[in-house]
Structure 1
Amino acid sequence: HDEGTPPGEIVVLAPFVSDALRFSLQTGLAEANITLTTHRPSRALESEPAARSLLTLACLAHPHWGIRPAPADVTLALALAIQPLDPVRAHLLTRIVYPERRGTIELGRFGELATEMQQRITFALGEAFDHLRDWLYAYRSAPEITPLDQFFARFFGEVLSQPGYGFHDDRDAARVANQLVESARNFRWAMENAESDSRSAVDLGREYVRLVQSGALGALYVPGWRVAEDAVFLAPAYTFLMRNRPVALQFWLDIGAGGWWERLYQPLTHPHVLSHHWPAHEPWSDFAEYTTRQETLHRLLLGLIRRTRQRIYLGISDYSESGFEQHGPLLMLINRLLAEGRNE
């Protein structure tokens, strides 16, 4: 940054990108007024806080679905939807306007709170909450049911993206909201085009929410694979490699982790044994696993190096996020190369 390198020419790579890594890096870069963008295509929509917030508010806007969100989910939704609302005050607000003992899917008004509680939460945040609640109840009273993807788009554009709300000036939340809209739209189109399916918009919306909450992936989000805006890019190494975009600087984090060398284990598929190139009667052995991992690591490193114009910085950690000591093959390879360089 001090050298004048544009943020869009910087990528931060790791074998896996956890929520803790993204949050810590995003917070640190925000202090330097640097924007961060991420892309994790294998991550379920329900795992994104912005998507969970939208899904919870959608359940509150559609009581006829019969899906009553948990108070903890409502707390998270309010904390994300109203920008200055911290989790503590969001919990206090939820406990009163959406008590756990209440069986119906209803939100109380801020004006119903005791004066002392209103002062703790502040009247400015109460006004923002009442505006959000009034929008939801105006939508609920509409004579016709809007398709879920249109609800997400309207709610984001008319409320959440406005100043004073959590999605305003938040590119990552906007990306997730757009992904949710496209996913819900594609689901609706697929179901509407099915000749044997005559379900209404109410049924389709409810089924989609249940599908996402079950952890299923949404539809392929094509904009996530396009060239990012002028921001530092954080992603798994293979995701960046598939973009085929050269940059000036690369930061490889946690090079001692075994994830640089290990492949993802799928419950029903094996990318090598089930390919056309593998002999039909040849068993998969430990030697074949080791050889394949070595070849894959070689191709990964070659691909990353060829997509770097200037420098690569290596981040080393003796311990993983779980607290275990790690000395993976990539770290051993780099140590061997450094030792050979010193000997020359």
Structure 2
Amino acid sequence: MTATVLVLVETINDYLPILEHQGFHLILAPTPAERAQAIASHGARIDAVLTRGPLGLYAEEIAALPALQIICVIGAGYEHVDLQAASDRGITVTNGAGVNASSVADHAMALLLSLVRDIPRADAAVRRGEWPKIMRPSLAGKRLGILGLGAVGMAIAKRAGNGFDMSVSYHNRQHRSDVPYSYCSTPTELARASDFLIVATPGGVGTQHLINRQVLDALGPNGFLVNIARASVVVTADLISALEQRRIGGAALDVFDHEPKVPDALKALTNVILTPHVAGLSPEATQGTVELVGQNLVAFFAGRPVLTPITLPISVVTRTV
């Protein structure tokens, strides 16, 4: 039997032959309209879905896919995949945690450097024929706070500490005894101990709105925020207010609440750098994530354990037995 995979991800076409060479039949549906049409037309024969966190897979879509057995999520986040619906159907869910950590960490540091050194404004000035002497802080010796010390957070910490001589603090769900970095018990405490704060935690209910007005005020008027995680971790209205009132120095954002829509208020600010959710995109990371999807699919359909399973909530059926 050849398993049919519905591919909802829009950025991996060059690497899909990896899955085709493993014998999988692919249905590509990268736009909302194509997605709805594919589910309506081919739902009865779709065995697997390949998606990413912001694209997700919703309960009503899972219900419309009676043959669905496994959902593979590219990247670490799976916030819009209905895990309860998957659990109730006995559907396996996997992710790609850690595969794109280097790419995301590189982008985080690039954003931080561009923000703190004000590279976009300097570039724009030179293009206008101006030659301003913009005085900006150095990164060396500064205090970096990382919210979420997983694979991405660790990669950022190593770059900051080893490459820029920065001291690193972090806030995590749990204190880690295996790292040399300082632990802060709350996001507010972390912001207060930081010159620069990078958000690297997964999205979802557990991390929603961890960064709010209180945290931003603790970061202060000379502090900078970088978010390469999920927009849901930050209260956007509080961030815009802090930026407009210069209660923080600036922000660099790769993620937004309603992508690809970006609030006009953010676009109008001069102390913000915006990129279109591309931190995890690199040839190396994309190839690695697709290869991991292939390994998970091959293992699953061969009856072996998948490599990167997501722990699912207890199914409604199990709870009622």
Provide the TM-score with structure 1 as the length reference. 0.22
Q: Judging by fraction of residues, say which structure has more strand.
A: 2
Q: Judging by fraction of residues, say which structure has more helix.
A: 1
**Structure with more contact order per residue of length (Cα contacts < 8 Å, sep ≥ 6):** 1
Structure number with larger C-alpha Rg: 1
Provide the TM-score with structure 2 as the length reference. 0.23
